[in-house]
Chain A
Amino acid sequence: MIAPPVTSAPLFSIVVPVYKPRRAYLTAMIDSVRNQDFPDWELICVDDAAGEDAVVTGILSAAAAADSRVRLVTRTVNGGIVAATNDGIGIARGQFIALVDHDDVLAPTALSRVADTIAAVPDADVLYTDEAHLGEDNHPVSPFHKPDFSPERLRSHMYIGHLGVYRRSLIETIGGFREGYDGSQDYDLALRATEQARRVVHIPQALYYWRIHEESVSHRSDNSAVFDAAKRAIADHLDRIGMVGTVEQTHPVGVYRVRRPVQDEPLVSIVIPTRGGSAEVRGRQRVMVTEAVRSVIANSTYTNIEFIVVFDDPTPASVLADLAEIGGDRMHLVRWSAPFNFSAKINRGAVHAKGEYLLMLNDDVEVISPDWLETMLSLAQQEGVGMVGPMLYFEDGTIQHGGHVYTGGGPGHIAFGWNPGSTGPFAGLIIDREVSGVTGACALMPTALFNEIGGMSTTLPVNFNDVDLCLKVTTAGHRILWTPHAELFHFESKTRVAGVVQEELDSLLLRWGSKLEADPYWRFGADEHRQ
């Protein structure tokens, strides 16, 4: 490759703090930068070992001598990753700062792909790419196909990772890396930068290889200081954006949960369409709707609720009497005399709803988490959130619903049939996160929004009405969240024969076809689905 003339202001400044790396890994990193098919960069290596390692210093000096775009900074004292990276940023001339670790490798097209994206999205202030691990044998493994910008997920774990590229003016505005967050300094930076970025752009291609070896931070036996720093970073983030909540670590690999209080205890209208059918659950026959209502009342700690049960004509009088007795003043029974239409029944219930929030609930569910409503409600009350869905399990404990995924021209359930306790790919089943949609079997949304977008589409009487509703919610500019911290059983298809009517699928594709091709939030392939 022919080295181009150095411009005074390259597009990219690649900043690499260097501290006692393996020689071969450092060389591979430098080579991967010099082998980029895009020339407009500078590589700033900050030697944080104060020149103590003569071999490393030699490698860096040789690289600088061989390519004028490689710049070397030697600290006089070891300052740690935050100080070293800030030193590099301090002398950077590029419009964008790309952060690279001293033992990692860039794909040859990494910078050109980012440059293309910047050209296409001129107001992009933060960009990130997919990444893969690099094993000891130098083969890429475990690709992490990240979601598009997902602020709720970012409050749960540092998913942006590598390659992270930040507009230099933004980094300068927020003051670079902060001392006191070592080990989670990149997480802290990502939170602060995305808060102020005009646009955060995801490049769905693995352009960075993160080397996994014995000295990696992720292989340390005690990372408690790193996790404490991450919790502080998230708590600071909540303070800055005015979000009330507490942070707790929920998994040893560095996964967090923000617990928020419910504001003002709003009334939740629970709309349940039913025919009053019975089925066997755990070896016993039960009337599904009465047990669903009973479980909501008995197992829920949130009490400001009303039930609107929309029942078909054939519903037995004894079922209605039981519902009246179980629900008391909170029970409203609404008759449905027309042919079955799930959407129309939900709409009928919504018309009668008095609550500020509407919870669509199937009659074949059973509450597991006592605070399920608080969990969903506290998420639904966040700015910009239009709908929230929970984790649903089949009777045998396997997962029925981990959010919707709309990809390959059709909708599906995330984690359908997976074993209970699965963390999912990249913690996807143990964190609150943005999703393209959630099942109408249990979904909470503001009543005003439901009305604003025309409720459920009566042209989809049986299938995909929830998919359609979700797409209307997101198209209207709202986020949809899924949470694993609200759990229910869903004894799906025990009361109704499941079946897809081709006409409904055609209808869905006709109106949403282009939005069903590639899911922005769940991009895991068949390999990851088997986890």
Chain B
Amino acid sequence: MTADTGQLERNLGFLEAMTLGGGTMIGAGIFILPGLAAEGAGPASSVSFLIAGFVALLAALSLAELATGMPVAGGSYHYVNRALGGVFGSIVGWGMWTGLMFASAFYMIGFGQYIVGPLPFLDGRALIVLLGVLGLFLIVGINYYGTDESSGAQNVMIGVELIIVLVYVALGVFFVDPANLKEFAPTGPTGIVATTGTVFVTYLGFEIIATVAGEIERPGKLIPLTMVLSVVSVTLLYVVIMIVSTGVVPYQELGGSLVPVSDVASISMFGGIGVAAVTFAAAVAAISSSNSSILAASRVIFAMGRDSLMSERLNVTHDRFNTPHRAIITTGAVTGGLILLGLQVGEIVALLAQVASFSFLVTYALVHVAVVVFRGADPDEYDPEFKLPRLMYPTVPILGIVTAVVVVSQMRAPVIVVGFGVIVLGVVWYAVYARDRAFEEGVADEAVEGLLDELPDFLPGSTPTETAEETYTIVVPVANPETQHGLLRLAAASARAHADKESPELVAMNVIEAEETSRRNVESDRIDHQHALLENVHEITDGMDVDVRTRSLVEPEIGEAIVRVAGEEDADQVLTGWNGTLARDDYVFGKTLDTVLSEAPCDASLAEIRSDTVGRPVALAGPGPHSPKAAQRAVEFATVQETTPVLLNVQPPAPDGESDPVRRGHEAVAWVADRAGIDREEYEVKVVVDEDTESAILDAVDEFETICVGLSEKSDRSRILFGSIAERISQRETGNVVVVRGAEREGEVPDTPGETVARQDDA
């Protein structure tokens, strides 16, 4: 049985991603925004859409790079949090959540307006608000009980809606009166930019694709494709719609209308039939857009909870329906409150749209910053499939930030006040709630370091010797939480032993074994593992007085990944765990460990951790090319509890009394110690004389808590034999067993103590 951990399926294909992203974008906005836009900029509002579309396209490009680099739930929030740390994470998380709530309320008021519009006996703002709340109630209800992706109902609804919109455009073209377009930009450039701030709400649709990035098939391909495609096609559609709408109905009239598209349709689409069709499409659009917003909001809340920036209680899923019902109810309640504000505030629709735009403009600006930070820091886990091409980087992020700031600066005072209120909320939330809980640190610091490394000559005070300092690096693959502590402790001891010449450094790594398949979400596993790593490794090594870094990888072969990392880090040693048994098939220690032992370009140690303490280590100072390394490790490990290690040698009794076996043993140990560069006062010697070497070793090591054994490498056969001694030791012992292999140096023939040993001074 393979007893894998649970896999996460990627179920959303091209069509689903387009319905979520594009559907939301052409959704509600198309029916409400033409009125607001015409009021703000006349026929030139089509230019506003072009500008908004351009700003969105820049954001979509940056977001696509980040989303393919880290395709997991949470969208922009996750990337900003990873790049810039908890404060900005909190700002963007809250900004996205509230932005989605404002947008949802905006859609639902539009829903009310379109229902009330064609029915003459229904009238008044109270009714609009009431219908909006009822519609929202319906959506929250559906989401509470949960829906199934495979029904396809949403695809059909949005398909019908799209057809109605296209018919509207196609027929409308014939009714355009050029006289209506004569006064193209009545409010001038400032009006156009200000209107951009209103219509930008449309473009939070592609963000929804990013929030469900963890569920999209072939994320490397589909995420950039659907994001860019939806932004471009929706922008073109809106531009045409604005020209048609303001061409058919004069912008002054259109601007005053609550149901602008119905007004146009009553002229161009056969009167009543057109109005009915548009009303139907508007209702569908509002509901599907609002629905998508709620889906996206619960993903953001989940992602925040994952980083301890939000209470996990909000993320508990329903026992029976498996929906995040608390998050959905909370989102729905706040959205309902915003809709009810419509009773008091006259311009509620524009205000809701603009606040949502503000939040997402701020979010996208920070996304651009995040791209720059990730490029600068270049953490190992960041390997986006879609990368901004050379010509676009850093132009896209810089232009994106500048344009977002320009659009925000033209917004009305109350919007800016509310928008900044949300930012302050994020900061305060972080300071009061999250700071002590969240452990995620941004990679921004690394990015700054990266830049400093690149530009040492230009920066005063950074001396090249600092960066060029020698480090003794040990790569520690960690996987098992129970033995992690023991491994790191041994590694830290081993690294610190070199502190006089080189600065000690540990690289804790974890590999998720997976092929890069398109349908399975290994990214999410990666995040879970990474968090466990970050939390535990840093906790454990705190106070061990070594530099610690962590690396998290997804590779098909664990052993090869370890070897590769050891090479990249220019490691001096790899210290990995071992379960104490030998493989029964073609492998000696198992596929992974065999790869590490045979290919790692440095010392390699396999440690079976079974004791909480290191105690007094013993090394088998017998023949074999790696005995000196084993002795060296024993000396290093002894520093943990400041004991003196024992070097053990077993000799057979003298066959014909030619030389004293005890003396031979001492000579052999001295030879090993000399090869390892260990001074005489650093170890004690124990020599056992026995016929049966193996059982003598087993008896002698019984009292020790940590046993270091050099790997025998004379032939495949003896390797296996030797492995079996190590295995037998590990079966009998309760303590730790470390199998040691030194770095292979070319041209150095592994030799054994011979006659030359005699010249060792036995001080």
Is the A/B pair a real complex?
Answer: no
Which B residues have a C-beta under 8 Å from some C-beta of A? none
